[in-house]
Amino acid sequence: KWHPFSVASTPLETPGLLTIYVKSLGKWSAGLHHYIRECHEKNVQPIIYMDGGYTATAPISAAHSDVVFVGGGIGITPLMGQLVHVLRSHPSQNVWLVWNVRRKDMLVHFQSWLRHIQNVGGDRLRIRLQVTQEEVTEFGVANTDDIQSGQAFTGQQSLPRCFEGHGPNSAVEFRPYAHVSTIKRMVMLTLGFGFSCALVAIATYANRLTTATSAQWILLRVVQFCVAVVGCYLALLVTKFPKTLIPSSNDVIDHHDKAAMSSDGVAKHFEVQSGRADLSEIFQTVESGAQGSVAVYVCGPKSLIRSVDENAHGKFQVHHEDFEM
């Protein structure tokens, strides 16, 4: 079952912390929300198995003078980590953020991140936020009111089957898990095997043991056995999973150092405008001030992607990702 999972952090800023945004889009993701909230309330570590991603993100070259990120709604989440990565790794690039949302509530939800990138980017970051609908609508597709009140999932039997047996009261112990590349495994195993063979050869064909009396052959077999055991143990050590980074207080970026603003406060602070962004006018402004090539990264509904392609065709290098809900 497909769900919008987005990595929204960069190892340059938080090397021991991975931030993932998941939108509540049905029973499974709503069950995940309920499970994480329950673990948080009972102060226990959730059990998480993660696989992916399966496609590499488009590389952001340092040769571009300007990079434009265009997001539509919750489609901003795949761009969040990339934007911060550029701000941290390419100090000479100008960065533009154009974000269309249906209502101000989403901007309020992400205001800590917006203020964070504003502080990091400084004068070289330009933020353009657009609200297309003023009336308040439901934030998620799932019934969030039921989730908050606990009516959506009242017990383990109501949770999706994948969450059964993995609640806060589960006896399953939390354990870090990581993948090691196949090439590294083979190299380490080959080294361990070669080391064992060398020790066995030394023990078997050394002058003192080959010329020893028959009574010392028992000692030779004991040495060979011990060498084999030691070699296998060394091979196990070198192929063991590396220690997983555990987030520390230094890794966590405190986005809540200021009091949260209301929707009107966010609109005033970031000069939020009504209606859809005029991409033609924005791209002309970017093009007129760019000292070199410009790259555009867009994620959102297909209509937004088509609009970006039409306005940036022949001018900029466009990279996009479908994020249709």
Q: Tell which residue, 225, 222, 193, 220, has the closest CA to residue 204.
A: 220
pLDDT of amino acid 55: 61
Using the 8-state DSSP alphabet, how is residue 69 labeled?
Answer: E
10-residue mean pLDDT profile of the chain (325 residues): values are 69 78 80 87 82 67 90 87 88 92 88 90 91 61 41 49 56 50 75 75 64 65 75 66 50 56 86 90 91 90 89 86 58
Answer whether 71's CB lies under 8 Å from 300's CB: yes
Hey, what amino acid is at 167? Answer: G
Q: What is the largest CA-CA distance in the chain?
A: 96
Q: Return the pLDDT at 322.
A: 62
- Neighbour-count burial for 56-85, b at 16+ CB within 10 Å, e otherwise: eeeebeeebbbbbbbbbbbbbbbbbbbbbb
Phi and psi based region of residue 165 (left: phi greater than 0; alpha: psi -120 to 50; beta: remaining): left
Please state, as a whole number, how many other Cβ atoms lie within 10 Å of the Cβ of residue 107.
21
Q: Tell me if the bond preceding 314 is cis, omega within 30° of 0.
A: no
pLDDT of 126 reads 93
159, 35 contact by CB (below 8 A):
yes
Query: Tokens 């079952």 — which residue?
Result: 1
How far apart CA 162 and CA 32 sit, in angstroms, is: 10
